[in-house]
Amino acid sequence: MSQHWSEYWEQGHLTSFGTDFSSNYAGILKDIWLPIFKELRPNFEVLDIATGNGALPLLLKNYLDESNINGRVRGVDIAKIQPRKVDADNSIKIELIGEVNCESLPFSDPVDLVTSQFGIEYSNLSASLKTVANILKTGGRLSLVCHHHNSMIISRNKQVLLLIQSVTTKKLIEKLYSLADSMGQVTTKVDINRIKNDQVCEVLRNDINQLIGELYESNEAALMDSEILNYVTTFFKQGLYWSVDKKNDYLKFVQKQLSDLALRLEELVCAAIDETKLASMLKILSNERVEFVSATTLKSTDAQLLAWHFIFQKALK
């Protein structure tokens, strides 16, 4: 699971939504954390599970930077992420650690707060929740934002998954390979005129346009989310004068990107929490003396369902 996420985080994304959030989480996905961070006391210890490139630790730091509260936030992720230590005026320290499985943490010193946003649900919950329960201080809190099985995020990404795994997308890539070979080496205007008048190239271009049209007709929104159009545009514009080998290498790269995206989306869909999974989570944590506090659903400004927000607390006795 970790390799395709490692490559994703290496691209510099801060959130798991890629280009949908160019900086950090915003709106409700930001606002729900501020009251939780406000409860932290001096010398706090926070652990962020499945931290990625540290969206929540950075959000916490930015929120508490102007306060007199000091503490430490450690973010761990099973993927390979850039190890990083950030000191904010020696008051709030951030440490990001990659290749750490939350089902078996490499440290045991107790923490005041464990957080996770669209992360812990990807793990083996029966193991990770027990590990988290053991690291929580008495009275410590567990705050989780998790994918909801009926959310617009899941619905939208299911459509993207269907589109990139479709026969039409597979045929589109095959036609691009065929066109790259049929075009041959393109270096001059003479070559451009040659391929314009080549019947095989013309048929392949028409086939490609037809396949793109079919993808538009099937689901325009999913097509835009998939990056397929950007890949095709790059092939025809920047790639026009590339060698045949370079064109083929680029198409292999495109296939790898789409394959990795499919893996991430399959994991996302499988990770989403429904009522049965929630009941299982409650039982696991209850057995570890971590009590249920609340479960709410988060919605966008246009009232679309986004996620679950769960809060638990380690029993005082």
Binning pLDDT at 50, 70 and 90, where does residue 13 land? very low
Task: Tell me the mean pLDDT in the region 75-89.
Answer: 72
Binning pLDDT at 50, 70 and 90, where does residue 83 land? low
pLDDT of res. 25: 65
pLDDT of res. 86: 57
For the chain, what percent of residues have pLDDT higher than 70? 89
pLDDT tens digits, one per residue of 227-270: 999 999 999 999 999 999 999 999 999 999 999 999 999 999 99
Is residue 281 within 8 A of residue 132, CB to CB? The reply is no
pLDDT of res. 108: 85
Task: Tell me the mean pLDDT in the region 17-26.
Answer: 46
H helices of the chain, in order, are 2-10, 28-31, 34-38, 55-64, 125-135, 152-164, 167-183, 189-196, 199-226, 228-236, 244-271, 275-287
Using CA atoms, how far residue 99 sits from 81, 262, 306, in Å, is 7, 22, 28
pLDDT tens digits, one per residue of 109-152: 899 999 999 999 999 999 999 999 999 999 999 999 999 999 99
Tell me: pLDDT of 16 over 80: no
| Amino acid letter, 247 | K
Is residue 135 within 8 A of residue 285, CB to CB? The reply is no
Is residue 75 within 8 A of residue 54, CB to CB? The reply is yes
Tokens in use for 232?
């095709």
